[in-house]
């Protein structure tokens, strides 16, 4: 596990974008595992900037997203499909047919989870997985207490996650209660993992996840067992680590 201290959110985003760029340059047809939320927006902006300058080419890149809310359609502006289009896909030359996100409107949840696992497998697995860290230690939507060996599954979101995400919804009652998420097993199978974390409100969980014991109560702690993890924190997120 390598931990890098970035000055601030912008510096964290640049560092993460540099690693992703290197991955795309080394393997133009790589499979990127992507995240949504506040943490990766700056990273995506930096990638878009380099694409616009002509330094990056997404033509052969494939992507699989970590998660999607159950019940939201692709055109709902709170869906993760919408987020990815808005924050990255529509600004670069990625082929949308090569981008994969669980289908929030699928009628049969078990079949959807199975389909998504098969998609990841058929792509040959994830080369580089980008992750954010939830306040409760979740990665993807793998909430505290879940088994480490799960693959893509439907999860009931923790109250604290619903509360954290309600900032993005007009009406807090609209926050979906369930989401599809890659499981810890899928995440741990990625060949390389990059975690980006910003802000003092994440400082306590950074300490617990990466400097405490490995436990399902802090899902991100399992990353300590992966052989190629790069954690990029800004100074505030690292402020509780001596």
Q: Is-contact 206 242, C-beta < 8 A? A: no
| Residue 138 bears catalytic tag | yes
| Residue 67 bears catalytic tag | yes
Cα diameter, the chain = 49
DSSP, res 79: S
Q: How far is the CB of 182 from ligand F6R (least distance, A)?
A: 9
Q: How far is the CB of 24 from ligand F6R (least distance, A)?
A: 20
* Chain residues that interact with ligand F6R, rule: CB under 6 A: 35-39, 66-67, 132-134, 138-141
Residue closest to ligand F6R when measured from CB atoms: 132
Q: How far is the CB of 233 from ligand F6R (least distance, A)?
A: 12
The three-point CA angle 203-158-190 to 5° equals 65
H or E segment at 100? strand 99-100
d(CA 240, CA 223): 19
Q: How far is the CB of 19 from ligand F6R (least distance, A)?
A: 17
Nearer to ligand F6R (CB atom), residue 39 or residue 63:
39
| Residue 136 bears catalytic tag | yes
Residues of 5-18 as b/e, b for ≥16 C-beta within 10 angstroms?
Answer: ebeebebbbbbbbe
d(CA 227, CA 75): 38
| Residue 142 bears catalytic tag | no
Nearer to ligand F6R (CB atom), residue 56 or residue 131:
131
Nearer to ligand F6R (CB atom), residue 38 or residue 95:
38
Nearer to ligand F6R (CB atom), residue 60 or residue 208:
208
Which candidate in 68, 112, 127, 143 is catalytic?
143
Active site residues: 67, 136, 138, 143
């Amino acid at each position: 596990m390598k931990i890098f201290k970035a000055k601030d959110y912008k510096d964290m985003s640049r560092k993460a974008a540099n690693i992703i760029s290197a991955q795309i340059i080394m393997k133009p047809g790589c499979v990127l595992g992507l995240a949504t939320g506040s943490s990766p927006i700056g990273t995506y902006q930096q990638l878009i900037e380099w694409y616009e300058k002509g330094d990056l080419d997404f033509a052969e890149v494939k992507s699989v997203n970590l998660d999607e809310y159950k019940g939201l359609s692709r055109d709902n502006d709170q869906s993760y499909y919408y987020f990815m289009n808005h924050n990255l896909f529509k600004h670069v030359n990625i082929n949308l047919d090569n981008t994969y996100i669980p289908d929030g409107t699928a009628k049969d949840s078990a079949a959807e989870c199975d389909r998504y696992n098969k998609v990841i497998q058929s792509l040959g697995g994830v080369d580089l997985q980008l992750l954010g860290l939830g306040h409760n230690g979740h990665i993807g939507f793998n909430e505290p207490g879940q088994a480490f060996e799960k693959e893509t599954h439907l999860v009931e979101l923790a109250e604290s996650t619903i509360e954290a995400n309600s900032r993005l919804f007009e009406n807090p009652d609209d926050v979906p209660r369930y989401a599809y998420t890659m499981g810890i097993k899928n995440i741990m199978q990625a060949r390389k993992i990059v975690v980006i974390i910003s802000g003092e409100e994440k400082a306590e969980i950074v300490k617990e996840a990466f400097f405490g014991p490995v436990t399902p109560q802090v899902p991100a702690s399992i990353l300590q067992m992966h052989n190629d993890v790069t954690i990029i924190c800004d100074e505030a997120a690292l402020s509780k680590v001596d």
